[in-house]
Chains A and B, each alone.
Chain A
């Protein structure tokens, strides 16, 4: 059952919403953030064109209308599978844009009066909701022909009366749908008064008894299984005439005449025998005959009753039928239409020549509406251009598709050609991809961690990973140099216990750095190494413990932190060697670094995508969740940028593969050759 539906603009204002159960606004916020802005999910997934997004226990399906800048979101519980949501979304999109499209297109408007939308939406839901998904009954099949409309959909009108008692349905509450609050919100009306809540379990034994069977005679306490078998085999239509028993699967056939109330004792066993007292807790507000009458009403087909109760609803429903059919039909076969139009653009030499001339003219002057055919060739050229800049084909394709969806059916501005429009759009797409959500300020983070109050102060742990020969040790020493210049005490850990000469290499670096730092009187750097052949994870853990120095008690004071920053080097490993990659997981868990940086060289080609992905998915914490909000690593360091000149496409490939931002660029082989990423510079180089 649908939990909520919202219509919002791309600028974030909610134009209309309907919540059947309370939904936190955090759900749709995270949908917007993860899918639309950060593009963590591959677009175009999902059946029938309505992609889905899962968060907590909810699934959100959405569709967007780009021309008016609207997003339509439907929220429901992940356990359910509602097949009619796509058609609902399509229909709502069509109808809403038709009704309010003009208002929305006028500039500088904020307020759109959507009061008339409520009954339209209700009618749509009733029309499309097939009812088969309303109760996920597992063993017992649904109740025959009757389809109950959920009380919430007619909330607007019968808010004053309590909704019809849904007691018959809850023979086995499979999904405890909490429809406690029915809130029909719209931006311009006040909230309707909340109807009486109907809980998933009937509160009174009196209610429960209405669908339960008579007590079977028999002494003592028979086993529960036999008792259950008895209850299923026999069935008795209850005197109040609810329809559930009519549709019940009658395994036995015996109908007993007695329709007594079932009573339960504390052990969960049914109490046989006549009742000693009426344990009916139901309030006198629901006396018998009215109850029966209402349930009889419920047994009828409800749509006509809803129609009679709200004449307007019926009226709207009838009008809607044609429109909705048209919208649903047109959405399901777009291809034939486009083919037809293609055929109809005449043939013949003169016609084609004149059309080419006009299109050329329009290309120069601007004001041309862009079609797929128009965009195809220039986009192909753009993709080739990107590939020539060493961008991986996957990333180039994704960028071109983003530009295409952005520009389709848009008009070019005055005096801009298609090529320049595409260039603009591509620049925007690249900027958006390369800009991090929050920029890394390494010095701030180190100071805030190392200067925590008293016992909270601990060293800041950074580890560097990557494939063989990309420049991990070199870039690590560049970072060490940078930190030393800022007066931090650095511990360099030789976590590469495999490659011959790795420890010596780091020893040379540390010697150079300490000479430099002593000359300038800043910082302190040391090497922590345990030789070759040891497990890198334990070396890292020991190093962090050594730097934290909790154990040693200096006389008259607690153990002071010996080092501010711990830089851990690791062995280079092929990303497709699963044994080596799995040892990274253990390393991540034991060393527990604050930052994990992967070094990728700018010279690598398409392999960068696979490298980035394989490394990112290894950093899983003990609960199985990827660290750093589900991306795995904290940043990329792209090394050897000075050797590639303009072809810095590896930046784009790696960011595209994982969504992890690039934090540093290595631009040389000296200690000072480390830069931060300037997005404008990178995009300029790529588009040059």
Chain B
């Protein structure tokens, strides 16, 4: 008991050793608590790639293909799904830009977060919300069904969705609040289901979509005003801001989006192709790697 009393008296005494001990204790305790609490902290945010497209294009299938290596059977999605995956070892990422081709040192491939959204008309708000929310969105994969594009209805639906997405990206760029502007998000147009007999090749997909987008922007510019406009605030309905691409141009080309910082590339692939070339997934990976 006296030992305890002695010790307590020592701790409250103004001796140098007691002061030193107190100082060390009070400085290291918060650090220890901090490391303990944040030991399981989440790693820094992974670069995100968003998968969108009309219903039935093959987005969820592509997600399983990219993350697992083999596609799983899928049905219509009701909810968004995320998956982390690592770039395959054969893909060159943007970090390898300054590496020589013959550099044989092992490198850990960066991992990415893939975000798959439902394509049904009523559930597109998930995709739109992900586009406008401030995540580290590095790129957009717009998946289309190449076989359905040969019919007028499928082409219209795809083009309207693509129009909405591209307009959102354009507005994000032109109406940025800061002078620096938000980071540009490149778009990869994945022409899926190339293994189907009636599918159009990637070049034809691109030209058909450009043509259809030209028509859509024509009709949208002449269409009725929204109910939200004109009743509450005016000056929103600026014709130029709602015109995709180059204002007043005759036809639409994806190159016109370049001035708004949106690079559009088209790649043809197939998620369910077996055999040679693995459905050309490596082209997808290449684009992802280049934009990580």
Contact = CB atoms under 8 A, between A and B. Distances in A.
B128 to A, nearest CB: 11
A28 B125 CA distance: 23
Name, among B84, B121, B156, B232, the residue most crowded by chain A CB atoms within 10 Å (CB to CB): B121
Interface stretch (B1-9, B73-81, B251-259, B277-285): B73-81
Contacts of B55: 33
A630 interface: no
A675 B81 contact: no
Contacts of B77: 10-12
Interface string A473-507: 00000000010011000000000000000000000
B225 A110 contact: no
A107 B157 CA distance: 32
Given A108-B82, A441-B160, A441-B216, A13 B74 contact: yes
A665 B228 CA distance: 11
A11 B80 contact: yes
Interface stretch (B24-32, B59-67, B99-107, B177-185): B59-67
Contact of A437 (B67, B122, B216): B122
Given A14-B72, A682-B227, A443 B219 contact: yes
B75 A12 contact: yes
B240 to A, nearest CB: 20
B83 interface: yes
Contacts of B219: 441, 443-444, 447
A110 B75 contact: no
Nearest to A682: B227
Contact of B227 (A32, A69, A675): A675
A432 B84 CA distance: 28
A677 B223 contact: no
Given A107-B82, A438-B121, A447-B219, A665 B75 contact: no
B83 A14 contact: no
Interface string A425-459: 00000011001111101111001100000000000
A36 B74 contact: no
A33 B160 contact: no
Interface string B228-240: 1111100000000
Nearest to A30: B76
Interface string A335-352: 000000000000000000
Nearest to A438: B121
Name, among A9, A11, A187, A432, the residue most crowded by chain B CB atoms within 10 Å (CB to CB): A11
A435 B227 contact: no
Interface in B108-140: 113, 116, 118, 120-125
A664 B76 contact: no
Q: Is the interface of A mostly helix, strand, loop or mixed?
A: mixed
Contacts of A17: 73
B227 A111 contact: no
Contact of A8 (B75, B160, B223): B75
A667 interface: yes
Query: Chain A: interface residue count, which band?
Result: 35 or more
A665 B227 contact: yes
Interface in B45-91: 55-56, 60, 63-64, 67-68, 72-84
Nearest to B63: A110
A181 interface: no
A443 B79 contact: no
B224 interface: yes
Contact of A435 (B83, B116, B121): B121
Contacts of A680: 228
Nearest to B80: A11
A281 interface: no
A486 B156 CA distance: 20
A678 interface: yes
Contacts of B224: 482, 664, 674-676
B72 A13 contact: yes
Name, among A110, A443, A641, the residue most crowded by chain B CB atoms within 10 Å (CB to CB): A110
B157 A69 contact: no
Contacts of A28: 75
Name, among B63, B83, B220, B228, the residue most crowded by chain A CB atoms within 10 Å (CB to CB): B228
A11 B116 contact: yes
A250 B227 CA distance: 77
A678 B225 CA distance: 9
A437 B120 contact: yes
A38 interface: yes
B40 interface: no
A329 interface: no
A167 to B, nearest CB: 35
Contacts of B157: 438
A37 B125 contact: no
Contacts of B231: 667, 681
A265 interface: no
Nearest to B60: A12
B34 interface: no
B226 A676 contact: yes
A187 B75 contact: no
Contact of B83 (A25, A37, A108, A447): A108
B171 interface: no
Interface of A: 8-14, 17, 25, 28-29, 32-33, 36-38, 69, 107-111, 185, 187, 431-432, 435-439, 441-444, 447-448, 482, 485-486, 641, 664-665, 667, 674-678, 680-682
15 contacts: A9-B81, A10-B77, A11-B77, A12-B76, A14-B74, A69-B79, A437-B120, A443-B223, A447-B219, A448-B156, A678-B228, A678-B229, A680-B228, A681-B226, A681-B231
Interface of B: 55-56, 60, 63-64, 67-68, 72-84, 113, 116, 118, 120-125, 152, 156-157, 160, 215-216, 219-220, 222-232
Given A432-B122, A441-B220, 18 more contacts: A13-B74, A69-B79, A108-B82, A110-B64, A110-B72, A438-B160, A441-B156, A443-B222, A448-B156, A641-B227, A667-B227, A675-B224, A675-B229, A676-B223, A677-B227, A678-B227, A681-B227, A681-B228
The 5 closest A-B pairs by CB, nearest first: A681-B228, A11-B81, A12-B77, A678-B228, A437-B121
